[in-house]
Structure 1
């Protein structure tokens, strides 16, 4: 008898791979076989990181989750940092490669055929492949539900003259998609904040316009919870929350992680030596890049706060003048500060010594902070992060904004907001209350737990 076999396909970025890996482990608990498909480039990064994390194990992965890869069509490695090239290449090359992979899997064994494709909402073409091959399909949103609701509203935004045909806002204004939806600033629409020029904006906007994932998907699911975005789920009731997936991760903390970089676990020992609720955790995800001036202002702001801090600075930006500055900085502040290349973030945020999270407000980081009751200092960089900041600071009221002066967040602003946050007992109480509400969703009887069980039943039917 054949068992359910799900092919999972994330967009090739860290913030998309992680939640789909968490979902894969949840599905695997129910005896569902998973084929997890990355691009060749991303798969190589993950395998290298996993090999060093599990040096005492003979192989990476598990019987339930098989890691495979297909080409993304990009020949020059530096082109992967250019959104317009990455997205266009994905749409042109990967659909055919994915179809070939599904056929190869089906030919190996009648009992191992792919029965369902779960694809990242940014990879809507994969659902077109699945539909063509007669395979069940679900789309997964790795951002907030409000982002997909915004995508649904693009035709109306065009009709109302709020944006031009290429997605450019006609003017900088604040809008609400519905009366109770979060305020959205038009210049902060995700496609207008790609940080790579007008060509990238146009391509991302056109991709979102032609991406009909939600239309041809039989299920539309997201890593969120009803209590986090009630207005978004009311506005788009076909989107079903199944999260926060990270809240169930304690049951398999040593599972296949999907991290692109080797984690520096020495920071956990360092945290053990710090007082409870004393450490400022600083991490900006996998894309944020600062120039040297902004990095220096951040470093000096942390120093002036006179609080212990754990700061993640990725290896791909820690070179040249940045490396020299950080080495001198860390040597000077070694008694109460630590800089690492990459951290086991979920373990860090569960640590009792963490006082707050200075974050880029990526959705995964936002969820991880929320489920641990950690207050935020928000520093959005691009894409949907400005909308997430609105949730954090204005809707949930569990964080404070860092304000820019001529494009720079000064050391004085950083120090001031750290002190303000740490002295705000009301904010900390709200963060703790939100944690309890959200985690209840994934417990037996919770709304996200029910949705996930229904998804499992559908997959296995």
Structure 2
């Protein structure tokens, strides 16, 4: 089928590293299924991606897989400037400036002189709700792709009920320590019983107008306006939550884990030639270092693209790693530590020499799949969680914000594949949990369960599995109807 006759899908990503990665995996899968793809980033994100060689080959695109950008009103990142995902600034700029530029882009693509097929359907990150204005005006279906977990989506959805019940916003800062966060929440459909502290940290505010809290509430409550919802999960992992969502949303399709579906695209497919998109330069030398390590001996440490540590927290994690005696690969982004840089003394370097590798960014999917990696100290972002499950790697959890708290609860208490570090991190606890995960009896049991979940994920995501069948059903019922 020629490019000019293919059905054109436009994918709009939320301009953060994890959301872009997940949407790109979906776009590659849809391209493999025969669709013409236009992948859209905001201009600020697009310019940052252009700064790194690893992303350039992907951004070259293909005749039927193209990249585009829309104005977000932010100035381009300087060449010498370290990239920082300033969440509030990026969200506010996108909400203000992207709706008009998004409509202009689709209008231009649909012009007969554009040289591409008209856009048949928009697939937007479920938090990029500004796309609804354009698709409603143009009469184009708009599918939401939820890049967070179903438990995370459900958590966000019922924030509004917590506000209406008077539990949020907090009455004062005292509610952070007086037991209020231990309030039992046992009425959310499909969700296990949780305490408030195990729901999104965005609820821990005294300000009803808090930007990020209202952003996620508005996002999930716009979902009923979508044509359909795709969740990046598989049914066995979050079945009760999927059932609950199906009863209150447009058609719901669990098509995941997306990182694994994209892995099954044949090497002879043109989509397989597309690389990844990275805001930071990947250090590939860590793979050579891992090659020298024994199977299951290395703890991988990465807090994702948005987490920030205080200097004290970074030092506690550092000494916990050093004192554990375990080999570790630690990703420290340039903007990971806020305030004064964490100063790990010469003694730390001497103590961990030969068993530590510290870098600013790495190819995470490849690292987790490496035989030497036996554990993952993580912030519990959904990409990291699913990639860890798909690699059969157990987790030590230190959630930071967003959906990460509820992901952590499910990882540790429902799926049984991780252990949680207390918010007030100490080197003693870090050391103890690392030793338990890597060497202890509980660690062996967690590893066993992680391998079981990996097998279930593979079963869902392999060709002919449940997620591929759901993809076919989605294409038939939503796109091609």
Q: Normalising by structure 1, what TM-score?
A: 0.89
> Could you say if the C-alpha distance between residues 31 and 455 of structure 1 is closer, same or farther in structure 2, counting changes exceeding 3 Å?
same
Q: CA deviation at 1:321?
A: 6.1
* 2:103 aligned residue (99, 106, 115): 99
Contact persistence 2:16–2:85 (CA under 8 A):
no
> Could you say if the C-alpha distance between residues 114 and 327 of structure 1 is closer, same or farther in structure 2, counting changes exceeding 3 Å?
farther
CA deviation vs aligned residue, 1:244-270 (integer Å, no higher than 9, x gap): 011133346763312211111111111
Q: CA deviation at 1:190?
A: 2.8
Query: Which moves more between the two structures, 329-338 or 306-315?
Result: 329-338
Distance 1:365 1:80 in 2: 19
Is residue 2:83 matched to residue 1:70?
no
Distance 2:203 2:287 in 1: 34
Q: CA deviation at 1:151?
A: 3.9
Is residue 2:430 matched to residue 1:414?
yes
Q: CA deviation at 1:113?
A: 1.2
> Could you say if the C-alpha distance between residues 59 and 88 of structure 1 is closer, same or farther in structure 2, counting changes exceeding 3 Å?
closer
Is residue 2:298 matched to residue 1:298?
no
The alignment partner of 2:401 has SS state of coil
Distance 1:201 1:429 in 2: 44
* Gap runs ≥5 in structure 2: none
Q: Which residue of 2 aligns with 1:233?
A: 242
Is residue 2:242 matched to residue 1:204?
no
Distance 1:158 1:28 in 2: 42
> Could you say if the C-alpha distance between residues 191 and 429 of structure 1 is closer, same or farther in structure 2, counting changes exceeding 3 Å?
closer
Is residue 2:327 matched to residue 1:308?
yes
Query: Which moves more between the two structures, 211-220 or 175-184?
Result: 175-184
CA deviation vs aligned residue, 1:295-314 (integer Å, no higher than 9, x gap): 11111111111111000011
> Could you say if the C-alpha distance between residues 80 and 276 of structure 1 is closer, same or farther in structure 2, counting changes exceeding 3 Å?
closer
Q: CA deviation at 1:80?
A: 7.5
1:80-229 matches, cutoff 5 A:
82-107=86-111, 108-109=113-114, 112-164=117-169, 171-172=180-181, 173-178=183-188, 181-190=191-200, 192=202, 202-211=210-219, 212-229=221-238
Distance 1:138 1:193 in 2: 28
Contact persistence 1:143–1:363 (CA under 8 A):
yes
> Could you say if the C-alpha distance between residues 26 and 300 of structure 1 is closer, same or farther in structure 2, counting changes exceeding 3 Å?
same
Q: CA deviation at 1:175?
A: 0.9
> Could you say if the C-alpha distance between residues 372 and 427 of structure 1 is closer, same or farther in structure 2, counting changes exceeding 3 Å?
same
The alignment partner of 1:48 has SS state of coil
> Could you say if the C-alpha distance between residues 161 and 193 of structure 1 is closer, same or farther in structure 2, counting changes exceeding 3 Å?
closer
CA deviation vs aligned residue, 1:27-79 (integer Å, no higher than 9, x gap): 00022111111111111122222x2466xx69732233211111212359799
Distance 2:117 2:298 in 1: 49
Q: Which residue of 2 aligns with 1:246?
A: 259
Distance 2:131 2:361 in 1: 31
